Chain A
Amino acid sequence: MPRTAGAPAFDLQGALKDAGIVALIVVLLTGALVGFRTHAAGGDAALSYRFDDVLAAALLAFLGRLAILLLRARRTKPVLVGSAALGLALVVVLLQGSQTRLLPFASAPFNWTIALAAWILAARAAWLHWHAASELSNDARDALMDRLGARLQRSARFVAPLLLVAAITLPFLPWSDRRLLDIATLVVTYILLGWGLNIVVGLAGLLDLGYVAFYAVGAYSYALLALYFDLGFWLCLPLAGILAAFAGILLGFPVLRLRGDYLAIVTLGFGEIVRIILLNWYEFTRGPDGLSGIPRPTFFGLPMTRTPPEGGHSFHSFFGLDYSPIDRIIFLYYLALALALITNFVTLRIRKLPVGRAWEALREDEIACRSLGVHPRNTKLTAFAIGAMFGGFGGSFFATRQGFISPESFTFLESAIILAIVVLGGMGSQIGVVLAAILLIGLPEIFRELNEYRMLAFGMAMVAIMVWRPRGLLAHREPTVRLSDHAPPA
């Protein structure tokens, strides 16, 4: 083993003891949760035991802890060899696909996770082995990540058009099928909502935990207007936006004097109030039964249906195409994309206008804003109203896409996911929202087969981000105006 000059002393006994304690904690934690299992046998519940899993977990925790301690003391070789061997063995056995008792756990995803962890450890050990002096302090790592974020942000100028082209051509790519398009539409919807909430949370710094209320207002506005007054989607879309913005002003007026946690609590309450009203006002909203038969959007008046309406055309008959059900999916995808792009365009534009700068200034220091003549309440209200308006657009799109809405769709969990997208992406970063929406919505949808494990991975990813990038993936901010862009007066 290369004993480099700076290698700290390694206390084998202490390390074994430490790893033993970790293993013991794992046994205590998993003993009852994993060790016993009830299952239905005949009419009764029977108890079965899985202590081999508990043992495997404890052993792996012991080895993992030992490896981390060894790495901390720069004893890289045993870790490198051990974890590489373990990872390799696991992958080989897993790829063979045989259900041998060689594997630590009964379920494949767990084994894959362990293999992945072993590979990560091996990679870390190899890195430390060959770059002995590259241990970064926390600050240096932060600075490095910030520079990386800044570079990514700057490259957004090139990445954004590429993403846009990719988004536009997506329906025509050879491998895109209905499922992929559905997922893409869902992701784009969340991008739209993320961008809308980004105005309130990222720019104006108002923590809104009830954003889904505006989403609900938009969805129900469209559904009710369509069902009661027989109005079409394209007329209802702006109306839904206006109604949602109005709801935003209505909420904002009394509560925007609150700050931080207090505002968050009140908005949380508002989100629940809206949902509960929708649930209980049965005569108007049909409560928990939901509203069905919401009309689909038309393509400039042409419905996307198989049979054209009496004496008219539908989309495919007008253009002389064969009817294909995927046309409607593609149309909905483009509709979501267009709405999201409008949101993005307006946000980017407003950021460079005085009101956008005032939002950001309010986020930075409200008292200083007042001392400069910025009206805090009106400025916050505009942020709330515009953010709510885009939430309303998203809501009416949701209603027209699903054709059925019920209060079920507008729970607090939705607000939390949208907020997670904004926070994870980096507050105020437009491209960060895209990235986070793909990560948080797209990946879990694609890996739906892994059902409950995807939520585990979701949680782990959130923890990892909070540890390494507490300000979000792309938290770097570019100034809205540069002195160098304005030539000095001649």
Chain B
Amino acid sequence: MRPLLSVEHLTMRFGGLVAVDDVSFDAPARKITAIIGPNGAGKTTLFNCLTGFYAPSAGRMMLRHPARGEFLLERMEAYAIPAKAGVARTFQNIRLFPGMSLLENLLVAQHNVLMRASGYTVGALLGIGRYVHAEREAVARARYWLERVGLAARADQNAGNLPYGDQRRLEIVRAMCADPALLCLDEPAAGLNPRESAELNELLAFIRDEHKVTLLLIEHDMSVVMGISDRIVVLDYGRKISEGTPEEVRNDAAVIRAYLGEDDEEAPGRP
């Protein structure tokens, strides 16, 4: 099976700083690929390139949408990547719409579908078209996801009033409401307690298995990474230093060096 996402020779320079240096990897369809690495390794920069917030200095990012064909992400504008190529993301520091209700947050995620149904506002304003029906479907989809993460009871409250863990979950299901083929999660387990992390694992596995979505995941929490990842890509100083299954990566000497530092006596003598 061809990978959903192929990143080839991706490079991102900020002046003299090379944040992402010639990184290539594939994200297999309907699998969870984790991107790990020490702080400052270029993980979030990679995400920002993928989702159009940065224009990469070089490289190619090919997304093969199962229904809509192939997209070269580096050529698309930020808003078009989720709308057309079906790439949704969450943020390291949660970005909800805090002054709007949970339900409204999830409806904004379905903006483009609803916009088309509302005849770009004109139709719905004049009361023609099938907007009412489309909105009902959108609300049903939102209800489905809110119930999945146990937030349906608070649907009409402001998102900003949710506790931290719930905000994380809401951001993930908001991204899911955008109907993505590829879901990019930037440290979804940051700040969660062990029980919440376990719930998160379950949710991510559910998204992969039941909704056939490919996941790309930046994470520091190894219980999440090792627990659910199908593949792991390791970055250090912008370069890819390892790639493979969790088992392979766990035993890779280069990875251990990157995380634990070099052992002065042993390292030079190693074959």
A positions within 8 Å CB-CB of B: 346, 349-350, 353-355, 357-358, 360-361, 363-365, 367-376, 382, 477, 479-484, 486, 488-489
Contacts and interface: CB of A to CB of B under 8 A. Distances in A.
Q: Name the residue among A350, A368, A372, A374 with the largest chain B CB count within 10 angstroms.
A: A372
A354 B91 contact: no
A62 to B, nearest CB: 45
Interface stretch (B108-116, B188-196, B243-251): B108-116
A142 to B, nearest CB: 15
Given A354-B115, A489-B140, A483 B146 contact: yes
A364 B95 CA distance: 9
B45 to A, nearest CB: 15
B37 interface: no
A60 B132 CA distance: 64
A125 B57 CA distance: 69
A358 B111 contact: yes
A481 B136 CA distance: 11
A202 to B, nearest CB: 12
Which bracket fits the contact residues of B? 35 or more
A481 B104 CA distance: 7
Given A364-B98, A479-B104, A372 B118 contact: no
B121 A350 contact: yes
A367 B47 CA distance: 14
Contacts of B97: 360-361, 364-365, 368
Contacts of A489: 140
B125 A349 contact: yes
Nearest to A374: B111
B82 A371 contact: yes
B107 interface: yes
B114 A370 contact: no
B229 interface: no
A353 B118 contact: yes
B156 interface: yes
Given A353-B125, A360-B99, A477-B99, A372 B108 contact: yes
5 contacts: A354-B114, A360-B99, A373-B79, A479-B101, A486-B140
Given A346-B125, A355-B115, A371 B156 contact: no
A479 B111 contact: no
Contacts of B140: 486, 489
A354 B88 CA distance: 19
B55 interface: no
